[in-house]
């Protein structure tokens, strides 16, 4: 789903927001300026805790009752949304689409003093559950698991996905205003189209993205915007026919844009994420998905039948086991793997580095820290902190390709194997995206080595995708498990338990909305 084209489907339509909430109005307004009528959107938010439903407080005492019932606990925030599409030909017809979104929020333990101070601020009075996460109420919150905007009052991401389904898969395109879908068959045709389109469209979309990325199309159109198809074909040394089709497909996916004269340029999305030298580039990660994830998952049926990794089937024998993530042992293969890790660390690093107050730590060791991208974010976020990146010799020797141009020299590299070699001394150890790749036995070996290197009071910051306790989400973690690697996807509680068995007590857990979650532990 490409967000801007999705939300822009509302342009030129009159959208009636059937809600008095200024927050909902703000969320929708900031997503798109809307003009002409055609759609009615209604939404309502409730909070649910211990089987009780909390709506808006009636008075201060009601606010106190609600907030004290939330103190120290996880609760759910539900927003129900109804979209009514109005079709007009000879007579007006309607189509109703409903959905809801749930977000889990945990409150810190709230003292009486804090509760009353917050209630007296007046903020709780017009808000479901008696708090507003986007303002002072944010201070009460320990973590949010799920869509933040849903807690504010409108699940914009889910809403855009629904719009995508309506406008990209519905036979009754509102733009044509020709064939209204009668009320009797609510979104059935949309679902059928979705189910049909998904298996055929999705692989084609991905292959178009992989190919455009591999041919460095977005780099070319960044340095030379406004080339036509023939010029692009010449530059990328590809056929005119194939290049023309690829360019048009990229336009339809919102990756490129073209005006009346058929010349091409990058959309903002491509400029920000798809060119190889963008600060938050995902170019290396996309190549990794193309060369490693795609071939691996093309053997999914055997993986499920056999319950074993299909790495050898996909890539043949890989002799250097620690580079098992790559499809080759070549320098090019290693660099591709490192670029992929670097891209994700660039996107997530700041969130992880700023998840906790690390004022008391002066030296950190990022175990399996790869290119140092995460380490640089930690030194940027914490002025008094130096970070040693500890990784395999084959990785450390290639780190010069990833060194940032402007940085204070507080990141250094040590080569070694975390199962065999002595770990550098530090008062904070960072383990980002390491443990999910290891089975429990190996986790214990690594954690006991870290525990031996720690004195009492040392910290351990773990960053991984944390599954929810029911193992129902997030799907990126559950899908990753299908690779049948020797590792394991775990919940925050499971990680805490593993860490506790080596004397690390979890003090804080953060579910972020930025791919990786984090927990901070202290060595007892």
Ligand X SMILES: C[S@@+](CC[C@H](N)C(=O)[O-])C[C@H]1O[C@@H](n2cnc3c(N)ncnc32)[C@H](O)[C@@H]1O
For residues 449 and 418, give the distance between their C-alpha atoms in angstroms, rounded to a whole number.
8
Residue 109 touches ligand X, criterion: CB under 6 A: no
Pair 506, 520: CB distance under 8 Å = yes
Tell me the window of 13-21, 109-117, 141-149, 340-348 that interacts with ligand X (CB under 6 A): 340-348
Window contacting ligand X (CB under 6 A); options: 123-131, 144-152, 172-180, 413-421: 413-421
Q: Minimum Å distance from CB 207 to ligand X?
A: 25
Nearest position to ligand X, beta carbon: 368
At closest approach, how far in Å is the CB of 482 from ligand X? 17
CA torsion sign, 487 to 488 to 492 to 498? negative
Is 44 among the catalytic positions? yes
On whether the CB atoms of residues 427 and 362 are closer than 8 A, the answer is yes
417 binds ligand X per the rule CB under 6 A:
yes
Q: How far is the CB of 450 from ligand X (least distance, A)?
A: 12
| In the complex, minimum distance from the CB of residue 106 to ligand X, in angstroms, rounded to a whole number | 25
Residue 48 binds ligand X (CB under 6 A): no
Pick 50 or 441: Cβ nearer ligand X: 441
Which among 98, 40, 42, 84 is positioned nearest to 181, based on CA atoms?
A: 84
**Upstream peptide bond of 474 is cis (omega within 30 degrees of 0):** yes
> Which of 341, 364, 426, 458 touches ligand X by CB under 6 A?
341
- Is residue 368 part of the contact set for ligand X (CB under 6 A)? yes
CB of 384 to ligand X, least distance (A): 22
Three-class SS of 125-179? HHCHHHCCCCCHHHHHEEEEECCHHHHHCCCHHHHHHHHHHHHHHCCCCCCCCCC
3-state secondary structure 218-247: HHHHHHCCCEEHHHHHHHHCCCHHHHHHHH
- Integer Cα distance of 467 and 477 in angstroms: 7
Is residue 397 a contact point for ligand X (CB under 6 A)?
Answer: no
Residue 435 in contact with ligand X, rule: CB under 6 A: no
Please give, one letter per residue, the 3-state secondary structure of 139-151.
HHEEEEECCHHHH
Contacts of 43 (CB under 8 A, 6+ apart): 18, 19, 21, 24, 79, 80, 81, 82, 153, 154
Nearest alpha-carbon partner for 418 in 386, 374, 463, 448? 448
Contact (Cβ atoms closer than 8 angstroms) between residue 415 and residue 438: no
> Cβ closer to ligand X: 108 or 445?
445
| 517 near ligand X, judged by CB under 6 A | no
Residue of 75, 288, 433, 502 that binds ligand X (CB under 6 A): 433
Question: Which of the stretches 70-78, 183-191, 195-203, 366-374 binds ligand X when contact is defined by CB under 6 A?
Answer: 366-374
Which is closer to ligand X, CB of 439 or CB of 457? Answer: 439
Tell me if 434 contacts ligand X by CB under 6 A: yes
Q: Which residue intervals of 400-491 are DSSP H helices?
A: 440-453, 475-481
By CB under 6 A, tell whether 353 contacts ligand X. no
By the rule CB under 6 A, 180 interacts with ligand X: no
Residue with smaller CB distance to ligand X, 418 or 466: 418
Between the two ends of the chain, the Cα-to-Cα distance in Å is: 46
Pick one of 395, 447, 462, 520: the residue that binds ligand X (CB under 6 A): 395
Which range binds ligand X by CB under 6 A, 52-60, 198-206, 339-347, 449-457? Answer: 339-347
Distance CA 340, CA 284 (A): 5
Of 473, 493, 484, the residue nearest 147 (C-alpha): 473
Q: Which of 63, 370, 426, 435 binds ligand X (CB under 6 A)?
A: 370
CA–chain centroid gap for 497, Å, is: 25
- What is the nearest approach in angstroms of ligand X to the Cβ of residue 223? 29
Q: Min. distance of Cβ 422 from ligand X in angstroms?
A: 12
CB under 6 A: which stretch of 20-28, 212-220, 429-437, 449-457 binds ligand X? 429-437
Binding flag, residue 392, ligand X (CB under 6 A): yes
Considering 44, 93, 228, 421, which one is annotated as catalytic?
A: 44
Assess 418 for contact with ligand X (CB under 6 A).
yes
Using the contact rule CB under 6 A, the part of the chain among 80-88, 146-154, 158-166, 341-349 near ligand X is: 341-349
Which is closer to ligand X, CB of 143 or CB of 429?
A: 429
Q: Which residues of 285-302 are buried (b: 16+ CB within 10 A; e: fewer)?
A: bbbbbbbbbeebeebeee
Residue range at the interface with ligand X (CB under 6 A); choices 55-63, 70-78, 263-271, 415-423: 415-423
Q: Judged by CB under 6 A, does residue 387 bind ligand X?
A: no
Cα separation, 68 vs 88, in Å, equals 50
Find, among 210, 368, 392, the residue nearest to 292 by Cα. 210
Task: Report yes or no: 504 and 460 within 8 Å, Cβ to Cβ.
Answer: yes
Cα 326 from chain centroid? Answer: 23
Letters for 298-337 (x = contact with ligand X by CB under 6 A, - = none) are: ------------------------x---------------
Q: What are the CA-CA distances from residue 404 to residues 65, 277, 377, 385, 416 (Å)?
A: 52, 12, 11, 17, 23
When asked if residue 432 is in the footprint of ligand X (CB under 6 A), the reply is yes
What is the smallest separation between the CB atom of 523 and ligand X, expressed in angstroms?
Answer: 20
Residues 38, 377, 391, 517: which binds ligand X (CB under 6 A)? 391
- Write down the residue that tokens 């992989």 correspond to: 210
- Residues with a catalytic annotation lie at 44
Interface with ligand X (CB under 6 A): 322, 341, 344-345, 368-370, 374, 391-392, 395, 417-419, 432-434
């Amino acid at each position: 789903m490409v967000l801007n084209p999705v939300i822009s489907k509302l342009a030129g339509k009159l959208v009636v927001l059937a809600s008095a909430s200024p927050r909902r109005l703000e969320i929708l307004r900031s997503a798109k300026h809307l003009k002409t009528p055609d759609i009615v959107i209604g939404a309502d938010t409730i909070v649910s805790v211990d089987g009780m439903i909390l709506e808006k407080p009636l008075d201060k005492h009601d606010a106190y009752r609600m907030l004290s019932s939330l103190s120290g606990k996880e609760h759910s925030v539900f927003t129900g949304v109804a979209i009514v599409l109005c079709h007009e030909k000879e007579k007006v017809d309607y189509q109703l689409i409903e959905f809801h979104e749930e977000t889990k929020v945990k409150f810190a333990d709230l003292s009486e003093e804090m509760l009353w101070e917050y209630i007296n601020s007046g903020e709780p009075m017009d808000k479901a559950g008696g708090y507003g996460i986007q303002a002072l109420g944010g201070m009460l919150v320990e973590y949010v698991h799920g869509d933040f905007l849903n807690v504010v009052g409108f699940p914009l991401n889910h809403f855009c996905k629904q719009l995508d389904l309506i406008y990209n898969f519905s036979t009754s395109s509102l733009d044509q205003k020709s064939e209204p879908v009668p009320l009797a068959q609510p979104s059935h045709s949309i679902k059928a189209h979705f189910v049909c389109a998904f298996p055929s469209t999705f692989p084609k979309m991905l292959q178009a993205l992989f190919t455009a990325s591999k041919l460095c199309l977005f780099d070319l159109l960044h340095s030379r915007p406004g080339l036509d198809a023939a010029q692009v074909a010449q530059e990328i040394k590809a056929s005119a026919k194939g290049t023309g089709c690829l360019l048009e497909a990229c336009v339809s996916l919102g990756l490129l844009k073209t005006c009346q004269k058929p010349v091409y340029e990058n959309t903002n999305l491509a400029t920000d994420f798809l060119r190889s030298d963008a600060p938050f580039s995902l170019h290396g990660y996309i190549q990794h998905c193309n060369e490693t994830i795609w071939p691996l998952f093309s053997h999914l049926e055997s993986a499920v039948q056999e319950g074993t990794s299909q790495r050898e089937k996909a890539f043949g024998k890989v002799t250097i086991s620690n580079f098992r993530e790559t499809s080759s042992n070549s320098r090019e293969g290693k660099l591709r793997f490192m670029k992929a890790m670097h891209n994700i660390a660039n996107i997530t690093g700041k969130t992880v580095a700023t998840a906790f107050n690390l004022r008391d730590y002066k030296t950190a060791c990022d175990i399996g820290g790869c290119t140092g991208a995460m380490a640089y974010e930690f030194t940027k976020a914490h002025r008094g902190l130096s970070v040693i990146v500890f990784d395999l010799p084959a990785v450390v020797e290639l780190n010069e390709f990833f060194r940032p141009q402007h940085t204070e020299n507080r990141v250094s590299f040590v080569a070694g194997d975390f199962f065999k070699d002595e770990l550098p001394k530090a008062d904070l150890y960072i383990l980002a995206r390491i443990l999910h790749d290891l089975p429990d036995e190996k986790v214990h070996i690594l954690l006991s080595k870290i525990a031996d290197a720690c004195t009492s009071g040392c910290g351990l910051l773990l960053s991984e995708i944390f599954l929810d306790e029911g193992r129902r989400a997030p799907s990126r973690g559950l899908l990753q498990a299908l690779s049948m690697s020797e590792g394991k996807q775990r919940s925050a509680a499971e990680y805490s338990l593993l860490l506790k068995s080596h004397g690390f007590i979890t003090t804080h857990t953060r579910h972020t909305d930025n791919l990786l979650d984090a927990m901070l532990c202290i060595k007892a």
